[in-house]
Structure 1
Amino acid sequence: MAWVNQDKCAIVGVGATDYYVRGKSWPRTINDMAGEAILNACADAGISVKDIDGFAYYSTAGAGYLDKFDTASLMETLGIPHIGFSATLTSGGGGVAGAPGLAVAGLMNEDCKYVVTIMALQQLPQHRLGVVFGAAAPSPENSFLQPSGLVGPGHLMSVLARRHMHLYGTTREAFKEVVQATRANTHNRPKAVRKDPLTDEQYWGQPMLADPLCRLDFCLETDGAVAIITTTTERAKDCRHAPALIHGCTHGGQREWGRAFAWMGMPDPHFASSGHKYVADRLWEQTGLSAKDMDVALIYDHFSAMVLMQLEDYGFCEKGEANDYALAGKLRYDPATGCGVNGGVPVNTHGGNLNEAYIIGMTHVVEAVEQVRGTAINQVKDAEFALATGGPASLPVSGLVLRKA
């Protein structure tokens, strides 16, 4: 059954700051970068910042994992006169693709007219996401994780990756292909942090940070901000660009995934997965589509192995077949044709968290918008549908399908 709000709202503005290597954004502040991104998104949409009257956050309104956004402070900073909607999805980066759905809820309830979703990230030397669990206060879960040396997301994800290798014969060659295939998309992107071609020798020569994941299997650590603006499709007619219609949007998950890699209590096959199967099935039911209908896939890639597991959960290939799917070149974008390779769907045509920048998934939503607008740097030919995902992380995780207007 089609989603009751299908195509009734659209993303009409995207904006970002420059992307900085972790710690290099100072003396800028979180609010400074957030404000710039929001103003840029307003300019892209062709509206005044004073038209914004709603906020739809994710990551519990977190600015990274270090600060919190305060709606009143942003209103005061930007001169927004009033709002009728302010809400947030819980958990972390798993909510990025679901935040536009939260905006739709406010818009369809007629609480607001223009909703902004913002993420800004600024890491200090003493506050790094890479060791967030090691720095956390003791708890029943941390009493297991910390003495085991599982002090950051990468250490935790490595255990899931190793389980996938054990169950399905997945290889590090497939992890390498994820990194190389998406790196190939950044050479022409001015803001990308990692642009140089990546050889096999360079990948294999990287230090092992959490076996089986080496340094390049980890996402970048960057500072910056990204904002998007959502409104009704009717109102979008007055905006500057063709709207990116919100064709489907789901968030949530199932109990077996739960707290995900911060829990380690999932049974097989959930343990060796991205936790997206329930959300993916809802998304395809909601839209009447499937993975084969997607023209481009913007897959949350905080770690290379989790891209493979999401490809399985969304049905781009069967469970346990992502290794062969990747090694067949099916993640790659062919700039000569503007299409995928060997019948595959191009993945992360912007370079993703691994190579362009890590702003907790927001760059994926921006790329999805630009692909269906037809304005992407690495434009997929005749792109009509774009998938963007959020997570794997503790619930909720999320999925978003945008459609060309």
Structure 2
Amino acid sequence: MSSGTSAGTRSPLSSRPVYIAGVAETALGEVFDQTEMSMVALAAREALAEAGLKLADVDGLFVNYMGEQGSVQVGEYLGIQPRYADSSDLGGAAFEAFVHHAMLAVAAGRCEVALIAYASRQRSKRARRLSISSSGSGAYAPDPYHLTDQFQAPYGMLMPIGPFALVAARHMYEYGTTREQLAEVAVAASLWAELNPKSWRRTPLTPGEVLGSRPISEPLHRHDCCLVTDGGGAIVVTHRDRARDAAKTPVRVLGAGESHAFWHVSEAPSLTRSAGYLAVSEAFGMAGLAAGEADFFEVYDAFTINVITHLEELGLCAPGEGGPLIEGGALRPGGSIPAMTSGGGLSYCHPGALGLLLLIEAVRQLRGECGERQLPDPRIGVCHGMGGLSVRSTVVLGRE
């Protein structure tokens, strides 16, 4: 492993290494016997137990995407009075960004033990205006709350699928990406999900089933879209001295980066290039690594097109080459680019925001705890979070 950093990037971790010392999922799928708060509490206790810590040790709290329940409300429920708190709204990219923020806070001594938590009951509460298929896949109906932009609102764009359908269509137009290549992403995710006993959908998909599923927002069809489930989790970030007491092997945070460039489609300078290129550059620069040195990639797969563009952002191929890259099963179990190893948002779980679950899966892969889907001896894993079209956050994790 290279110990250098990119020009202009100085790692804050050289003097005080930072670790993820505990992780836990909440209940997943459909959760009728808990609230979001109780889900967070149970996951937090489990994650802290893995870290050899307790709620009284937490002095940093990072919460987002829970409606009106931010760090203040969650802190009250858990009995935590933090020295450092963050509820930045970066959508599904918030959680990789929270690792970045917690890493900096812990390295600077602003807190000792940071708890990052999230829970959603979007499926069981049906709080969102969704059309949910029998498989659990969903598509958003027009929602005026999300359509504040005067150039989008008159056209009643489906949210959030509409903008991503535009990305897929543009990628096809610019680079020749095909629906067969999009379908390969869904098939690969379903094959990983078959190996995960916690997956919502464990029956593998065939390319024909993906291509033949009903259109939602062209060119995206039902199986190009993520699940709509309940779920969430908690992770604990701390420094080496506190991580030594962990009940399970801590995983080191090697680098992190984040960026965003726009929100509305009308403000996008490009539909096929996002702020992910900068987030990835910052994360790998801090880690002193290149994408080719990573053993696996947990990428945010809200829609099949996302995986193709994320591989391009991560530097695994040039822009426009993501489609051809995955032909031949590169993403599938046993393939050359392990990704979505839990089954991802397409087949495992998608509780409104997937970013925290990407981190939990990466930590478990690096610990060797993933059973049938376990990768052979992984040492470096990458999580690449997404919020809307533009927001990206990237975390590089390593096993010591």
TM-score (norm 2): 0.89
Residues 126-182 of structure 1, C-alpha deviations (whole Å, 9 max, x = no match): 52475376231763x1x3223223131111110011000000000011111101111
State the Cα distance separating 1:367 from its structure 2 match. 0.9
| Residue 14 (structure 1) aligned with residue 23 (structure 2) | yes
State the Cα distance separating 1:373 from its structure 2 match. 1.6
3-state SS in 2 of match to 1:358: coil
Unaligned residue ranges in structure 2 (runs of 5+) = 131-138
- Residue 79 to residue 95, structure 1, CA distance change in 2 (3 Å): closer
Match of 1:46 in 2: 52
| Residue 357 (structure 1) aligned with residue 349 (structure 2) | yes
State the Cα distance separating 1:190 from its structure 2 match. 1.9
Aligned positions of 1:159-178 closer than 5 A: 159-178=166-185
| C-alpha separation in 1, matches of 2:142 and 2:18 | 38
3-state SS in 2 of match to 1:318: coil
% identical aligned pairs: 28
Counterpart of 1:36 in structure 2: which amino acid?
A: L
Match of 1:338 in 2: none
Counterpart of 1:162 in structure 2: which amino acid?
A: A
Counterpart of 1:32 in structure 2: which amino acid?
A: S
- Residue 239 to residue 127, structure 1, CA distance change in 2 (3 Å): same
Match of 1:265 in 2: 267
Unaligned residue ranges in structure 1 (runs of 5+) = 335-340
**Do 1:12 and 1:45's aligned partners in 2 also have CA atoms closer than 8 Å?**
yes
**Residues paired across the two proteins, number:** 378
Aligned positions of 1:220-299 closer than 5 A: 220-253=227-260, 257-259=261-263, 262-267=264-269, 270-299=270-299
Match of 1:71 in 2: 71
Aligned positions of 1:308-323 closer than 5 A: 308-323=308-323
- Residue 243 to residue 132, structure 1, CA distance change in 2 (3 Å): farther
Match of 1:203 in 2: 210
3-state SS in 1 of match to 2:151: helix
State the Cα distance separating 1:274 from its structure 2 match. 4.2
**Do 1:164 and 1:273's aligned partners in 2 also have CA atoms closer than 8 Å?**
no
Match of 1:5 in 2: 13
Match of 2:133 in 1: none
Aligned positions of 1:174-185 closer than 5 A: 174-185=181-192
Deviates more, 1:287-296 or 1:27-36: 27-36
| C-alpha separation in 1, matches of 2:95 and 2:265 | 21
| C-alpha separation in 1, matches of 2:387 and 2:91 | 9
State the Cα distance separating 1:203 from its structure 2 match. 1.6
3-state SS in 1 of match to 2:397: strand
- Residue 294 to residue 133, structure 1, CA distance change in 2 (3 Å): farther
3-state SS in 2 of match to 1:209: strand
State the Cα distance separating 1:110 from its structure 2 match. 1.8
Match of 1:403 in 2: 398
Which residue of the other structure, out of 188, 192, 196, is the alignment partner of 1:189? Answer: 196
Match of 1:337 in 2: none
3-state SS in 2 of match to 1:231: strand
Superposed CA RMSD: 2.0
| Residue 380 (structure 1) aligned with residue 382 (structure 2) | no
Match of 1:62 in 2: 65
Match of 1:158 in 2: 165
3-state SS in 2 of match to 1:100: helix
**Do 1:274 and 1:310's aligned partners in 2 also have CA atoms closer than 8 Å?**
no
Counterpart of 1:362 in structure 2: which amino acid?
A: L
State the Cα distance separating 1:283 from its structure 2 match. 2.0
- Residue 287 to residue 205, structure 1, CA distance change in 2 (3 Å): same
3-state SS in 1 of match to 2:194: coil
Deviates more, 1:94-103 or 1:345-354: 94-103
State the Cα distance separating 1:91 from its structure 2 match. 2.3
Counterpart of 1:90 in structure 2: which amino acid?
A: D
Match of 1:371 in 2: 365
Deviates more, 1:177-186 or 1:129-138: 129-138
3-state SS in 1 of match to 2:85: strand
**Do 1:135 and 1:151's aligned partners in 2 also have CA atoms closer than 8 Å?**
no
- Residue 197 to residue 394, structure 1, CA distance change in 2 (3 Å): closer
Residues 311-355 of structure 1, C-alpha deviations (whole Å, 9 max, x = no match): 011111111111111113211222xxxxxx2xx220111111111
TM-score (norm 1): 0.88
Residues 244-301 of structure 1, C-alpha deviations (whole Å, 9 max, x = no match): 1000011114xxx411xx333323xx31134311111222222221111010000011
State the Cα distance separating 1:70 from its structure 2 match. 3.7
Match of 2:151 in 1: 144
**Do 1:90 and 1:396's aligned partners in 2 also have CA atoms closer than 8 Å?**
no
**Do 2:366 and 2:399's aligned partners in 1 also have CA atoms closer than 8 Å?**
yes
3-state SS in 2 of match to 1:12: strand
**Do 1:387 and 1:400's aligned partners in 2 also have CA atoms closer than 8 Å?**
yes
